[in-house]
Amino acid sequence: MKTLICGSMAYDTIMVFEDRFQHHILPEKIHSLSVAFLVPTLRKEFGGTAGNIAYNLNLLGTDPLIMATVGHDFTEYQQRLESLNISTRYIRHLNDNFTAQAFITTDLDDNQITAFHPGAMNFSQLNQVEEAEHVSFGVVSPDGKQGMIEHASSFVKQGIPFLFDPGQGLPMFSGEELLNFIEQASYFAVNDYEAQLLVDKTQLSIEDLAQRVEAAVVTKGAEGSVIYTNNETIHIPAVRAENIVDPTGCGDAYRAGLIYGITHGWSWAKAGRLAALMGSLKIGHRGGQNHHYSLVEITTQFRQHFDLDLYT
């Protein structure tokens, strides 16, 4: 049985600003903001939430399915996925559109300013969850708005538990719409900023929202993460990274570890620790998919950090 990841496939153009945004953005002039950042470092990467999660699940030895809409410029990405033996069966090509594009500027404090062109992602509702075979777990991650709504509903109709991971798509939805997602989902995961936005929109605390799912996860970067489940609060420590290079895709790597733990019936404490390790392994590399670890290496590091075996 497989995990179906509904979400974005994107090309990321990542630029590094060799200073701090705070030195160049004047709070008293925010109403007339006009700034330019010199970015001597630029690179293009394979990205998108669905692509990044699938990449990390593939590192963990699983065979994920991606459901996404892409454009006429997807050929290079398609070839990459095929070289990694990641299925492209449920990726729909729309030749009149570009594949989604993210333009990310990162400063020396790892703050990010992102511009995002959705392109073919706007038509994600053309994909139907019902078409995917042998699916036992689902993910609804940032995608076209209507697609996210329909995919969540379809998972419920199919009796498939799913993780709601709104990410940067969260601002698209009203409080009522977000509550509807949470009522349908088995789990939801957000970072601490998204958690506050979720609270503001729904007028409910994270603890209250967690009562509506089997588990709610809030990641807090270097402070670790918190899992709320069964009236219990589980604190997951962060894994200290050997090198902190680029935060792009760390949340997706974390979610892959979490999904692996859920689908293998692990305790939340163990699943959260694998998630933390995957995020730490990613942050030492540029881009969302440039960290290369064998399953043996991941297993060894998991044992070294937590004195736990990946398979017991």
Digitized pLDDT (tens) for each residue of the chain, 312 residues in all: 899 999 999 999 989 899 999 998 888 878 888 889 999 989 999 999 999 999 999 999 999 999 999 999 999 999 999 999 999 999 999 999 999 998 989 898 878 888 889 999 999 999 999 999 999 999 999 999 999 999 999 999 999 999 999 998 999 999 999 999 999 999 999 999 999 999 999 999 999 999 999 999 999 999 999 999 999 999 999 999 988 888 889 999 999 999 999 999 999 999 999 999 999 999 999 889 999 999 999 999 999 999 999 887
Structural domain of residue 295, as residue ranges?
2-20+40-306
Q: Name the nearest CA neighbour of 110 among 250, 275, 281.
A: 250
Contact 177, 146 (CB under 8 A): no
Query: Distance (Å, rounded) from C-alpha 138 to C-alpha 270?
Result: 20
180, part of any domain: yes
Tell me, what amino acid is at 87? S
Contact 185, 140 (CB under 8 A): yes
253 to each of 50, 83, 281, 288, 292, how far by Cα in Å? 11, 20, 8, 8, 12
Q: Which residues neighbour 143 within 8 Å (Cβ) at sequence distance 6 or greater? A: 6, 7, 8, 49, 50, 68, 121, 124, 151, 169
312, part of any domain: no
311, part of any domain: no
- Residue 62: both structure tokens together: 């699983």
33, part of any domain: no
Contact 70, 188 (CB under 8 A): no
**Residue 61: count of CB within 10 angstroms of its CB:** 12
What is the count of structural domains for the chain?
1
Query: Distance (Å, rounded) from C-alpha 219 to C-alpha 293?
Result: 23
34, part of any domain: no
Please list the residues that pair with 92 across neighbouring strands. Answer: 69
Sole residue written with tokens 């995608």:
143
Query: Distance (Å, rounded) from C-alpha 49 to C-alpha 118?
Result: 12
Contact 44, 12 (CB under 8 A): yes
- Residue 54: both structure tokens together: 């699938």
Strand ranges (E), 123-246 = 135-140, 162-164, 187-191, 215-219, 225-229, 232-236
Q: What is the model's pTM? A: 0.92
Query: Distance (Å, rounded) from C-alpha 278 to C-alpha 118?
Result: 27
Please list the residues that pair with 65 across neighbouring strands. Answer: 4, 87
* Residue-level pLDDT at 286: 87
55, part of any domain: yes
- Residue 277: both structure tokens together: 């390790």
184, part of any domain: yes
Instruction: Give the burial class of 172: count Cβ atoms within 10 A of its Cβ; 0-12 exposed, 13-18 middle, 19 or more buried.
Output: middle
* Residue-level pLDDT at 104: 85
Instruction: Give the burial class of 89: count Cβ atoms within 10 A of its Cβ; 0-12 exposed, 13-18 middle, 19 or more buried.
Output: exposed
CATH number at residue 278: 3.40.1190.20
177, part of any domain: yes
Phi-psi category of residue 110: left, alpha or beta, with phi > 0 → left and psi -120 to 50 → alpha: left
